[in-house]
Amino acid sequence: MALFFVRATVTPPAGMPARTLYEIWDREAQAALKAMEAGVIKGLWKVAGQRVVIGILDLPDGDAIDQAIASLPIMQEMGPSVSWEVLPVRPYENFAADLRKAVSGS
């Protein structure tokens, strides 16, 4: 498994009623909570004052990320209105250990 930082920015289409956006986002939120219970989502946050959600996902690879994103209710219903940033991440402790090895010459 690998960790991925994910940032989703939702830009509703012009003219979409707020209620419609909230209904779609509610379905998305329920799916996200289930994924958290299953351990796929390690952490998830809504950025205050913005239509942005950030999270840490634990999936095997990039293929699994694409499949997970494509299956989301918000993607199925709003597709191009959601932009994604996905970055593979690693524990900082592992990075620090690599630095220590590089500095000590071992």
Is the pTM for the entire model greater than 0.85? yes
Predicted confidence (pLDDT) per residue in 62-106, tens digit: 999 999 999 999 999 998 999 999 999 999 999 999 999 999 987
pLDDT tens readout for residues 28-37: 999 999 999 9
Whether residue 79 contacts residue 13, with contact meaning beta carbons closer than 8 Å, is answered with: no
Output phi, psi for 43, to 5 deg.
-160, 145
- Cα–Cα dist 62/59, whole Å: 8
CATH for 2-104 is 3.30.70.1060
Query: Domain boundaries in the chain?
Result: 2-104
Length of the chain: 106
